[in-house]
Amino acid sequence: MRSRRSKANLSLILFVLPAFILYLLFLVIPMLKGSYFSFTNWNGLNKSYDFVGIKNFVEALRDDHDFRSAIWFTAKYVIFAVVFQNVVALLLAMLIESRKKGKGFFRTIFFMPNMLSIIISTFMWVFVFSKVIPALSEYAALKFLDLSWLGDPNVSFWTILIVSLWGGVGTLMLIYMAAIQGIPQHLKEAAIIDGAQPIHMLRYITLPLIVHALTICIFLTLNSSFKVYDLVYALTGGGPGRGTQVITMNILEEAYQGNNRYGYASAKAIILFLIILVITMIQVSIMKKREVEA
């Protein structure tokens, strides 16, 4: 019996080994090393460094003005991005699912941006904001469009949201569409016979029965919004100044662009990890309770 079990374990280990080696080398070891370096003042180049305890964490959270404003900017972005993306994706999914014709057509249009690299599609938007919209505001005398879309941090915040909505909605829409298709037909029919208006359908049938999709989609958007980088990099580069700098940019700046404070950057990265971990854990555990079986 014993040898049979050890034989099973041996075969398990052999099957898992290739994946496990890759995983160990590129995920686990970097994670462990990063956690360790976050307690040091290593600059990434020298052989020697000192162990400084929690000094990096204290400095990041208490004294680092740029990091704090990056956290604040990211938090603001996360709140708006999560709400906008999910509301629009859900709206689109419901509108498209309630149609008889043109489902594939609209689905393709709204999903298309998800094909393109964020960098590449954001450069298209840079063109729109720097050339097309100024021309529009001049040509059609649409004075309200005459804003510094990429140059004023307060306006750029909304610019970033407009572009992130454009690129982020497609995947969520597909998930919501699949969830709506999963609602049993007899429930919808019964509600219609009872004279339910669209708004009642949404409140009492659709929303309660797609909570599982909401859980996933909000988790995905929280996760990706906290990690936002490419889009802000290509749109504003974090500027002007550090006006639109997000957490990930601040970490990169600390680690590479001149600062070379690897240890300190690692501490900031661990802080980002903990923020995402705690917030998504809370979100998932709250929403899991509200999921129902159809």
Partner 1 sequence: MSKRIYSVLSWAVLLLLAVYFLFPIYMAIVNSFKTQSEVYRSVLGLPTSLHFDNYVEAFKKANMLRSGLNTIIVTVTGIVGIVVCSSLAGYKLSRTRSRLSNWIFMLFVASMLIPFQTIMVTLTKMARDLGLQGTPFGLGVVCAGLGVNMAIFLYHGFVKGIPRELDESASIDGSGEWKGFFLIIFPLLMPITFTIIVLNLLWLWNDFLLPVLLLNDYRNYTLVLTINMFFGKYSRDWSLILASLILSSIPIVLVFAFFQRWIIQGITDGAVKG
- From candidates 61, 75, 124, 279, binder to partner 1 by CB under 8 A: 124
The answer to whether 248 contacts partner 1 (rule: CB under 8 A) is yes
The answer to whether 26 contacts partner 1 (rule: CB under 8 A) is yes
The answer to whether 125 contacts partner 1 (rule: CB under 8 A) is yes
- The tokens of 44 are what? 């990434």
The answer to whether 294 contacts partner 1 (rule: CB under 8 A) is no
Residues 262-291 that bind partner 1 (CB under 8 A): 262, 265-266, 269-270, 272-273, 276-277, 280
Nearer Cβ to partner 1, position 58 or 119?
119
- From candidates 148, 154, 197, 285, binder to partner 1 by CB under 8 A: 197
The answer to whether 114 contacts partner 1 (rule: CB under 8 A) is yes
The answer to whether 195 contacts partner 1 (rule: CB under 8 A) is no
- From candidates 1, 2, 4, 19, binder to partner 1 by CB under 8 A: 19
Residues 33-62 that bind partner 1 (CB under 8 A): 33-34, 37, 44
Cβ neighbourhood burial of 99 (10 Å; 0-12, 13-18, 19+): exposed
The answer to whether 113 contacts partner 1 (rule: CB under 8 A) is yes
- From candidates 127, 142, 148, 285, binder to partner 1 by CB under 8 A: 127
Least separation in angstroms between CB 186 and partner 1: 21
The answer to whether 168 contacts partner 1 (rule: CB under 8 A) is no
Residues 75-104 that bind partner 1 (CB under 8 A): 88, 91-92, 95-96, 98-99
The answer to whether 132 contacts partner 1 (rule: CB under 8 A) is yes
The answer to whether 149 contacts partner 1 (rule: CB under 8 A) is no
